[in-house]
C-alpha cells in the first residue's frame, strides 16, 4: 500500500502540467512553477501556498459548502457569485422589501443582514496522511475496510482539531490511492452586504445559462464577522469584521487574449477516470432520467411562480438550484455524444488490456468492471428515481425526516432524550420548510413523479405499497390513479399543514404518525430502497472504488511520462491557463470578451430574463463608466479563459500573474459540458465576470462608494 502512495506522489510531482487541464492541489504545484512562470506568473510558489506565512490561499474560502468566495478587504469583505448568495437574498426578500428584484447595497456595517445557517471555511493547512492511513488499513478484512477507514479518518481529524473552532477532514484521492488531511477555521456569522438586482445578477436566466457570449453580473457580497479576538463565533451584535491574514488586491487593468489566468477554489466533483461502462450508463439511462424528473418540479413551480410575486420570491431559490443542473445534464449528454467520449474510452481500454495481459495484478480490472456494471444496471435507474424523484417531492422528503421519531417512539423502552432529539430536529426545519412549500405545485409534483416511478421502475423492484395504491385509487390511466392518490394524501396528511405539523411535534403520537398517508408512502419507499435496492448499490460502489483505484494506478504505470491529477472532491485546487477565444462550430468564432452593448442588444422589456433596469440604461447611454471602462472605451462585462473548473468553483477568483483579482468565475460553456468526465482542450472555457463591471455596478449603480473605498484597487 505504501508503494502506491509513493507512486502517486512521484507522478504528481515529477510531471509537467498541460497549461489548461488539471485541478491541482496547491502543495503539489512546485514542479509546475517553471511553466506557470513562462506563461506569466510573477509570484513565488510560497506566495501561492504557504502554511507558515500568509499566501494567496488565505484569501480564498469555501463558501457554504457549495461555492467559493474570496476576501477582498482587510475587514473580511467577501465576493462570490450572485447565484451562490441567491438563497440568502431571497430569504431577505418580501413584496414590501424586494431586494431580489431591486438590489441591495449596505452603506454601513449596521445595514448588513444576518444569515443564520450560512458559513465559510478558511483553509489552515493540508497534509499528506497516505502512509498513516495505508498502514492502518494493511491486512484489514475487505468487508470491514470502510468501517476501519472511517475510524482512522476520525482519529486523524480529532487530533487535528486544536480547539473547538477548527474543522478537519480527511479526503481520498485517486480512489483510495492517496489521502490528505485538510484543516479549516469555520466562521458562521456571515452577513449580506450587497447584491445587484437579479435582472443584472441573473441576466439571461435559464436561456443564457451555460452559454457564451454571456452578459451576466453574477456577483454578491458578504462579510465575515468574528469575536473581538478574531475567532469564529455565533452571531452577536458584539461581533466585529474579521481581520484576514491575506486579502486580494483588485486590478482594473483588464485582460487581453493570451493573458495568464489562475483560478483558486473548491471544485466539487469530477470523474475524469470514468470508464466506458459508466459513460454508457450515464448517456442512456441516468442523465435522461434526471432531466425528466427535474423537469417535473420546474414545470409545476414555474406555473405557481407566474401567478404572484410572493410565490415567485419564495420559490425562486429552489427553482434556480434545480434548473441549473437540469440544463447541465442535458448538455453533458449532448457533448459526451458529440465528442465521442465513450469511443475514446473504449480505445484506451483496448490498449490497456493489451498492456496488462502479462500483468496478473491488472488483467481482471476491466472484466470485473464489466460484470459490476452488468449487475448494477437494473438498479441504477431506481437509485436515480429515489434521489431525483421520490426525494424530489417536498412532502415525501419531509415525511422521511419523521423516521427517526418513529424509531424513538417505537422503542421497547422509550428514551426521552432520543425522542427529544428527534423532535428538535423537526422543529428546527419547520419554519423554512413551510415558507417554501407550495401545496398546489407539490400535489402535482407528487402525482407526476409517482406515475413515472410506477411506469419506469421494474415491477419486481417497486414497494409492495405501490400495488395497494393502484388498487385503491384505480383510474382509467396511471396518471389518473396517482392524481387521485396525491389528492387524497394532501387532504389527509398532517405534514401538509404547518399548524398541524407543529401540533403533532408538540405532542408526538406513534399511532397518528404510522397512519399518516404521506409517512406511510415515504416509509414504504425508504424501507424498500434500503432493504432491497441499496445493498446492490453499495456492492457496486465497493467494486467500483476498488477496481477504479487499481485502474488509475495501472494507468500511471502504463503512461509513466503522462501527467495525472486527482479528481475534484471539494478540496482547494488551483488551475492555470490563459484568456483564449474559441470556435464552437464551422463558420463561428467567439471573441474572448463581451460588453455592455450586448446587454442592450439582448434587452426584451416583456421577458423577465432579459429586462434591463432603467438606471443601467441611463449609465450606458451617458457612457458613465468612470475609471472602469476598457481602453477601447467600452464597459467590458465578461471574458473567457481555458482554466479547468467545475461546480463548486462558482465564485472563484480569477487572478492575473501578480495574484490580483481580475474576474469572478461563474460558469462553463455549453460546448464543453462533458467537462466533469472529459476535459476537451479545444472547447473547454471558463466564463468569468470582468471585475471592472462588478466595481462599476457597486459604484455607479449601487452608489456604494463605501465598499469601493474599502478595497485595494490597483492598475498594474
Q: What length does the chain have?
A: 716
- Rounded to whole angstroms, the Cα distance separating 473 from 242 reads 59
Beta strands 260-265 and 573-578, pairing class: antiparallel
Beta strand 713-714 with 250-251 is parallel
Residue 699 annotated to the active site = no
Answer yes or no: are the C-beta atoms of 452 and 424 closer than 8 Å: no
Residues 6+ apart with CB under 8 A from 266: 62, 63, 67, 68, 570, 571, 572, 573, 648, 649, 652
Residue 709: burial class (beta carbons within 10 Å; 0-12, 13-18, 19+): exposed
- Locate cell 468492471: which residue? 369
Choosing from 189, 218, 259, 690, which is the catalytic residue?
A: 218
d(CA 98, CA 102): 6
Cβ neighbour number for residue 560 with a 10 Å cutoff: 11
CA dist 453 and 437 (Å) reads 22
Cα–Cα distance between 541 and 538 in angstroms, integer? 5
Whole-angstrom Cα Rg for the chain: 26
Strand ranges inside 129-234, DSSP E: 166-173, 178-187, 189-195, 220-226
Q: Does the active-site annotation cover 83?
A: yes
Q: Are 32 and 17 in contact (CB under 8 A)?
A: yes
| Residue 469 cell numbers, joined | 395504491
- Chain-centre distance for alpha carbon 232: 24
DSSP one-letter code for 395 = H
> Phi, psi (5° rounding) for residue 462?
-75, 150
264 contacts: CB under 8 Å, gap ≥ 6? 56, 57, 60, 68, 70, 572, 573, 574, 652, 653, 655
Which of 55, 58, 83, 128 is flagged as catalytic? Answer: 83
DSSP state of 62: E
For 517-559, the DSSP string reads: HHHHHHHHHHHHIIIIIHHHHHHHHHHHHHHHHHHHHHHHHH-
Please give the DSSP secondary-structure letter assigned to residue 569.
B
* Residue 690 is among the residues annotated as catalytic for this protein: no
- In the set 251, 650, 652, 674, the catalytic residue is 650
Beta-carbon contacts of 685 under 8 Å, excluding residues fewer than 6 positions away, are: 212, 580, 582, 640, 641, 642, 668, 669, 672
> Minimal CA–CA distance to 229: which of 210, 243, 211?
243
Please name which of 18, 99, 47, 191 lies closest in space to residue 657, comparing C-alpha atoms. 47
As annotated, the active-site residues are 83, 218, 650
Amino acid at each position: 500500500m505504501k508503494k502506491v502512495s509513493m507512486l502517486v506522489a512521484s507522478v504528481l510531482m515529477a510531471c509537467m502540467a498541460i497549461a489548461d487541464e488539471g485541478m491541482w492541489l496547491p502543495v503539489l504545484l512546485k514542479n509546475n512553477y517553471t511553466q506557470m512562470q513562462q506563461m506569466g506568473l510573477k509570484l513565488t510558489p510560497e506566495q501561492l501556498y504557504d502554511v507558515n506565512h500568509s499566501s494567496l490561499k488565505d484569501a480564498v474560502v469555501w463558501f457554504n459548502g457549495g461555492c467559493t468566495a474570496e476576501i477582498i478587504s482587510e475587514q473580511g469583505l467577501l465576493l462570490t457569485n450572485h447565484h451562490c448568495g441567491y438563497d440568502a437574498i431571497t430569504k431577505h426578500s418580501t413584496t414590501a422589501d424586494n431586494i431580489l428584484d431591486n438590489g441591495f447595497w449596505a452603506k454601513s456595517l449596521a445595514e448588513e443582514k444576518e444569515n443564520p445557517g450560512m458559513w465559510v471555511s478558511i483553509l489552515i493547512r493540508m497534509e499528506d496522511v497516505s502512509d498513516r492511513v495505508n498502514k492502518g488499513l494493511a491486512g484489514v478484512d475487505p468487508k470491514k475496510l470502510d468501517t476501519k477507514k472511517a475510524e482512522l479518518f476520525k482519529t486523524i481529524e480529532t487530533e487535528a482539531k486544536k480547539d473547538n473552532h477548527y474543522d478537519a477532514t480527511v479526503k481520498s484521492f485517486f480512489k483510495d490511492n492517496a489521502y490528505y488531511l485538510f484543516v479549516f477555521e469555520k466562521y458562521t456569522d456571515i452577513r449580506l452586504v450587497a447584491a445587484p438586482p437579479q435582472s443584472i445578477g441573473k441576466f439571461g436566466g435559464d436561456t443564457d445559462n451555460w452559454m457564451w457570449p454571456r452578459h451576466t453580473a453574477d456577483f454578491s457580497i458578504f462579510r465575515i464577522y468574528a469575536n473581538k479576538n478574531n475567532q469564529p463565533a455565533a452571531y452577536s451584535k458584539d461581533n466585529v469584521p474579521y481581520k484576514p491574514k491575506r486579502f486580494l488586491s483588485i486590478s482594473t487593468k483588464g485582460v487581453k487574449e493570451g493573458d495568464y489566468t489562475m483560478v483558486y477554489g473548491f471544485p466539487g466533483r469530477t470523474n475524469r477516470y470514468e470508464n466506458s461502462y459508466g459513460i454508457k450508463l450515464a448517456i442512456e439511462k441516468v442523465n435522461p432520467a434526471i432531466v425528466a424528473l427535474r423537469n417535473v418540479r420546474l414545470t409545476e413551480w414555474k406555473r405557481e411562480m407566474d401567478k404572484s410575486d410572493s410565490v415567485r420570491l419564495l420559490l425562486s431559490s429552489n427553482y434556480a438550484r434545480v434548473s441549473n443542473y437540469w440544463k447541465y445534464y442535458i448538455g453533458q449528454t449532448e457533448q459526451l455524444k458529440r465528442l465521442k467520449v465513450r469511443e475514446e474510452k473504449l480505445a484506451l481500454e483496448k490498449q490497456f488490456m493489451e498492456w496488462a495481459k502479462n500483468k496478473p495484478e491488472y488483467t481482471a480490472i476491466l472484466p470485473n468492471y464489466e460484470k459490476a456494471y452488468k449487475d448494477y444496471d437494473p438498479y441504477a435507474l431506481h437509485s436515480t428515481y429515489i434521489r431525483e424523484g421520490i426525494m424530489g417531492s417536498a412532502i415525501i422528503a419531509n415525511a422521511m425526516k419523521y423516521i427517526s421519531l418513529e424509531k424513538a417512539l417505537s422503542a421497547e423502552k422509550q428514551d426521552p432524550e432520543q425522542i427529544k432529539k428527534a423532535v428538535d430536529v423537526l422543529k428546527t426545519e419547520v419554519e423554512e420548510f413551510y415558507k417554501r412549500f407550495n401545496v398546489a405545485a407539490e400535489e402535482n409534483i407528487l402525482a407526476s413523479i409517482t406515475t413515472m416511478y410506477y411506469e419506469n421502475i421494474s415491477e419486481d423492484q417497486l414497494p409492495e405499497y405501490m400495488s395497494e395504491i393502484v388498487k385503491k385509487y384505480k383510474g382509467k390511466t396511471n396518471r389518473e390513479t396517482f392524481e387521485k392518490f396525491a389528492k387524497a394524501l394532501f387532504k389527509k396528511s398532517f405534514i401538509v399543514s404547518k399548524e398541524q405539523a407543529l401540533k403533532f411535534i408538540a405532542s408526538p403520537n406513534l399511532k397518528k404518525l404510522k397512519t399518516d398517508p404521506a409517512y406511510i408512502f415515504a416509509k414504504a419507499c425508504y424501507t424498500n430502497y434500503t432493504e432491497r435496492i441499496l445493498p446492490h448499490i453499495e456492492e457496486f460502489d465497493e467494486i467500483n472504488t476498488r477496481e477504479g483505484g487499481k485502474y488509475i494506478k495501472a494507468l500511471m504505470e502504463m503512461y509513466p511520462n503522462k501527467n495525472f491529477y486527482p479528481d475534484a472532491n471539494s478540496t482547494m485546487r488551483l488551475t492555470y491557463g490563459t484568456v483564449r477565444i474559441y470556435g464552437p462550430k464551422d463558420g463561428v468564432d467567439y471573441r474572448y470578451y463581451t460588453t455592455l452593448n450586448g446587454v442592450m442588444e439582448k434587452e426584451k422589456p416583456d421577458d423577465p430574463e432579459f429586462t434591463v433596469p432603467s438606471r443601467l440604461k441611463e449609465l450606458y447611454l451617458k457612457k458613465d463608466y468612470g475609471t472602469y471602462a476598457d481602453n477601447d472605451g467600452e464597459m467590458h462585462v465578461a471574458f473567457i479563459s481555458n482554466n479547468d473548473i467545475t461546480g463548486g468553483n462558482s465564485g472563484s477568483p480569477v487572478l492575473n500573474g501578480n495574484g490580483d483579482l481580475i474576474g469572478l468565475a461563474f460558469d462553463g460553456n455549453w460546448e464543453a459540458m462533458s467537462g466533469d468526465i472529459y476535459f476537451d482542450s479545444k472547447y473547454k472555457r471558463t466564463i468569468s465576470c470582468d471585475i471592472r463591471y462588478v466595481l462599476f455596478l457597486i459604484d455607479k449603480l449601487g452608489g456604494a462608494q463605501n465598499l469601493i473605498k474599502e478595497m485595494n484597487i490597483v492598475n498594474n
